[in-house]
Amino acid sequence: MDVTAEQIGAEAAPADKQPVNAHVGGGTVLPAKKSKKKVRKPQSEEEYQFQKHLFTQSGPTINTDTWLYDEQALEDLDKDKKTDRMRMLNACEKAYYDRNYPKCLELIAQAETLFGVHQHPVTTREDLDTKVKKSNRVERHITDLVHIKEKCLHKLELK
């Protein structure tokens, strides 16, 4: 017994037609919803010129094998720049991934100083979960740091 497309409630969409959503139970075929394009917030001319100035001043980032661990670069990080916060987090994650747990803890201590964790001490994950605000980006990075630190300490205890 052959089953046709009409029996299951779907029809083959030609290549030049838009895709369809087939509902097997009701036997209806509806056109797929088109998603709205995300509207980006425009960058002001002042912000663009500032960003352009920063790039011409420092140039492109050259990524060598040890670029994440460059001591001078890690000293000059700014907590207000997302790229700098992410660089510090990525350095911690890379040290953890490489199983260099002492280096990871050293970088986490440096990141805690950068992010100002010692100004608002957090002792446990429960304390952290109550303090984290979803809208505060730095707090989310601090959350990630605490999780990496807990995993690092756990791995060192197992050794």
Q: What is the pLDDT of residues 34-61, one digit of tens each?
A: 888 888 888 899 989 998 998 888 877 7
Helix (H, G, I), strand (E, B) or coil at 57: helix
Count structural domains, the chain.
1
Average pLDDT, the chain: 76
* Structural domain contains residue 116: yes
Say how far apart CA 154 and CA 158 lie, in whole Å.
6
Tell me which residue of 153, 148, 138 sits closest to 77, measured CA to CA. Answer: 138
CA dihedral over 142, 147, 151, 157, signed as positive or negative: positive
Choice between 130 and 111, residue whose per-residue pLDDT is larger: 111
CA distances from residue 115 to 72, 77, 109 in whole angstroms, order as listed: 17, 10, 10
- Residue 44 in any domain: the answer is no
The yes-or-no verdict on residue 16 having pLDDT over 70 is no
* 125 belongs to a structural domain: yes
Instruction: Return the higher-pLDDT residue of 144 and 25.
Output: 144
Q: What is the pTM of this model?
A: 0.55
On whether residue 143 sits in a domain, the answer given is yes
Please tell me the distance from the alpha carbon of residue 26 to that of residue 9, in angstroms, as a whole number. Answer: 7
Token couple for 139? 């707090």
What pLDDT digit, counting tens, does each position of 150-159 carry? 999 998 888 7
Supply angle C-alpha 151, 156, 159, rounded to 5: 130
Q: Does residue 25 sit within a domain?
A: no
Structural domain includes residue 88: yes
Predicted confidence (pLDDT) at residue 80 exceeds the cutoff of 70: yes
Examine the pLDDT at 28 and tell me if it is beyond 60: yes
Classify residue 103: in a domain, yes or no.
yes
Give me the domain span that covers residue 108: 66-158
In a domain, 61, yes or no: no
pLDDT given for residue 135 in this prediction? 41
